Structure 1
Amino acid sequence: MGGTVVLVRRGLDHHAISLPPLQHMEASAIQLVTYRSLRYTWSVLLDQVEPAFPYISDTGTLPPASCLFSQLLNIITIFMSCCVYIRYRLVKNAESGIIPWVNTMAAWLGGICCLGLSLVANFQESNVSSVHVIGADTCFIGGAIYFCLQTWFSHKMKPSLVSKKTLKFQICMSVLCFLCAVTTILAGNIASAHFHGKKITTQLIRLLEVGLKYKLTIIDGKTKHVSDSHCGQT
């Protein structure tokens, strides 16, 4: 039995090191986009969300869409966990000079992000909102940091393992992911804090219903909250 485990691990190491850096993540990415599209379409057809930019969580709040939401995200969580482990083994065997404990820390961070996604799937925002928000923040913020770490790992790897085009793509996606995560959570918290309605709707509509009491403006490179007493008045 022990010999079989060793052979399996050696086989995994061999195949992982021969894979392009992003190839083993393509399946999860395609699944995520496909499942998200299915949930969105179903929720819109059932008139559970507004068609314009709904939150992912909004498409999985009411049954039967919530059942599909939980099931599909749980499946994606399993695949993403496998991707995190495969990536960990790839970096470990790449002989890139990356400090082992940093790679291990990144793997643990990836696992925590997968756990956060599982919390999002099984604790809907209409049932246990606090746990749902914790899971979402862990998944998105932690995921953005994880992507940045993996991009740095790719930079340290040999050119034969990571092409310049792949590295540039990873850099662009990591920056975009981080910016989207921060702005989404920031705007979402502001909107939720001032939203007192009962209708489950999209974050865009929540911002409008708040009356645009607060606007985000960029002044000298800094984000500031500007109060507008005239906003929302008719």
Structure 2
Amino acid sequence: MKMGAMAEAYKEQMGNPDFQDMPFEDRLNLLVDQEYSRRKSNKLQRLIKQAKFSDPSAAVEDIEYHADRHLDKQLLLELSSGNYIQHHLNIIIMGASGSGKTWLSNALGVQACRQHHKAKYVRLPELLDEFLAARNEADGSFRKLITKYKKIELLIIDEWLLTALPEEYVYTLFEIIEARLKTSSTIFCSQTAPEGWYEKLEDALVADAILDRIVHDSYKVLLDGEISMRERHGLGACK
């Protein structure tokens, strides 16, 4: 019946005389609680593993609110609740290289997994390469991939528009954004504000369409700091 945790707890009860004086209902409740906790923990670990975070140990409890970072703690606490996922809203995390964008996005992603949401972390170049390869197949792989990504409740896209995109990539990016519109949430990690995205998207009409679908339904988190998080932590995690 695949109730390993319950079986282990039962053996522990049988080997411990202190349990013998407990009512049957109380002992049974302990067994059920043990099994439930194990399954809940296993599910969380599966969600985190499947998400392929760059830092699966990142956690919202470890966010560092240094004064020079000017982080909006109230906003981050609100985002930690996961309400934005329930309402299919997005997050744009902006900051210079080394400011901790990736780490913060992973912390929010792990939090989403804790809340039983399916998440995925990917760099934009890898995402576009995956879709371009699927588009070149004649077996419907592209549409299947669109459907797959549509089902991901929280998609984290790192290195968002770090460089200008070729035209074929721009249209593919639009299709991805359009498919997820109003059905799921995305975290965009960018070194520039949305106003600077236009120059990275060569087709003006498509650029307008992409930004229109992202910006108006997004929370914005700006990561500042007189000292980069890489400097604060050496070459370790950027919190």
TM-score range relative to shorter protein: under 0.3
Name which one, 1 or 2, has greater alpha-carbon Rg. Answer: 2
Structure with a larger share of its residues in strand: 2
TM-score normalised to structure 1 length: 0.26
Which structure is richer in relative contact order (CA contacts within 8 A, separation 6 or more)? 2
Structure with a larger share of its residues in helix: 1
TM-score normalised to structure 2 length: 0.25
